[in-house]
Homo-oligomer: A and B are copies of this chain.
Amino acid sequence: MALADTTEAAERMALVLTQGGLQKATARVLAALLFADSDSVTAPQLAEGLGISSGSVSGAIKMLSTVGLIEKVPAPGSRREHYRLREGAWATLMSAQNSTVQAMFEAADQGIAATGADAPAARRLAEMRDFYGFMFRELPALVERWQAERSRC
């Protein structure tokens, strides 16, 4: 049955997302939105479909909205809140992860300040700082390159 197949694929997707750091309920909500047959989905539909509590759905929606992965659908009539995956969500997510890169850069930089430039640790910290500094500069450019390439098609 086709539905079973997509459910299984969605659960596999949720597993991957979990390994990427999302909690289980959140990952399943995101996967459900990815695999949804309609343009948007309501919270009760998610709770029902996934067999989780409304509280879990609420928490998942809050988290995914904060990160910018999903959004409320403007007003498809005037019914209750509908949610859907945002356009360009993945690029947004990658940009968000760039703040982790920034944190690594800053931690290394502060480390150098704390050790003094001639300590043995300084060389190690400098390599770290330079690497994450490079990535922090270049990753946004990479994402932009993707967006440019995409809009060209």
Which A residues are within 8 Å of any B CB, using their own CB? 2, 5-6, 8-10, 12-13, 16-17, 19-21, 34-39, 85, 87, 90-91, 94, 100, 103-104, 106-108, 110-111, 113-116, 119-121, 124-125, 127-128, 130-132, 134-135, 138-139, 142, 145-146, 149-150
Contact = CB atoms under 8 A, between A and B. Distances in A.
A130 B142 CA distance: 14
17 contacts: A2-B116, A6-B114, A9-B111, A13-B107, A13-B110, A16-B106, A16-B107, A20-B104, A34-B111, A34-B128, A35-B121, A35-B125, A87-B127, A90-B127, A91-B131, A134-B146, A142-B142
A111 B39 contact: no
Contact of A5 (B34, B114, B138, B149): B114
A10 B124 CA distance: 13
Contacts of A125: 34-35
Nearest to A114: B9
Contacts of A149: 134
Nearest to A94: B135
A123 to B, nearest CB: 10
A110 B34 CA distance: 13
B20 A90 contact: no
Contact of A100 (B2, B6, B19, B108): B19
A110 B129 CA distance: 38
Given A12-B107, A111-B10, A150-B130, A120 B37 contact: yes
